[in-house]
Amino acid sequence: MSDRYTLYGRQGGGSIVVQFLLETFGIAHDVVWVSQEQAAQPDYKRINPSGKIPALVLPDGTIVLESAAICLHLTNTNPGLSPTIGSSAHAKYLQWMVFLSANVYEAILRVYYAHRYSAGGDAHAADVKQQALLHIDHHLSVMEAVLAPYLLGETFTAADLYLVMLLSWLPDGVPESMPKLKHLAETVGKLPIVARVLAQNA
């Protein structure tokens, strides 16, 4: 059995946060870049039947899908980027990880894949995108209100790394009206591992 992990990802995609974590924890791994065309082929669909990235293969061969689940597994098994399991702080950590993947990531997908959410052609897709941008703005304002300076107050966690990935995808960048989010993106974006991974994904 290999002791290496394999990350299936795409440059600029949801594998970014998994790279942040694998690199931060110093976990031995290989990255396999999968284009959208390759992701639609049977070979990749054996890894993820939905044809999406990221997918993480654990050393024992287990395939883990869903970016939040991958991050939670990695932070449950490596110390440093999450509160003690079972603590109240960990409950808030779980809350933000799910908020980020279920609400914010999902709304960003509606911006970039608007046509998939509309049976009514381009005009309706433009409506879908417009509405998604409003939803993103609302989600960001919820987080702007709690950042101090991180989602869990003084404690920096993988949820902040996940958030920084999502902020890097905003079509018009972080709104000027959200200085705490801007500050988070700037300061966390300068951490050497984060800066290096973001540059690889630019």
Ligand X SMILES: N[C@@H](CCC(=O)N[C@@H](CS)C(=O)NCC(=O)O)C(=O)O
Indicate the residue among 19 and 67 with the shorter CB distance to ligand X: 67
Q: Kindly state the smallest distance separating residue 154's Cβ from ligand X, in Å.
A: 27
9 binds ligand X per the rule CB under 6 A: no
101 binds ligand X per the rule CB under 6 A: yes
Phi and psi, residue 200, nearest 5°: -65, -25
Indicate the residue among 19 and 101 with the shorter CB distance to ligand X: 101
Q: Kindly state the smallest distance separating residue 51's Cβ from ligand X, in Å.
A: 6
CB 1 within 8 A of CB 40: no
8, 13, 17, 162: residue in contact with ligand X (rule CB under 6 A):
13
17, 22, 53, 158: residue in contact with ligand X (rule CB under 6 A):
53
**Within 13 Å and on the Cβ side, how many CA atoms surround 169?**
24
Indicate the residue among 54 and 181 with the shorter CB distance to ligand X: 54
117 binds ligand X per the rule CB under 6 A: no
The residues in 130-189 that bind ligand X, with binding defined as CB under 6 A, are: none
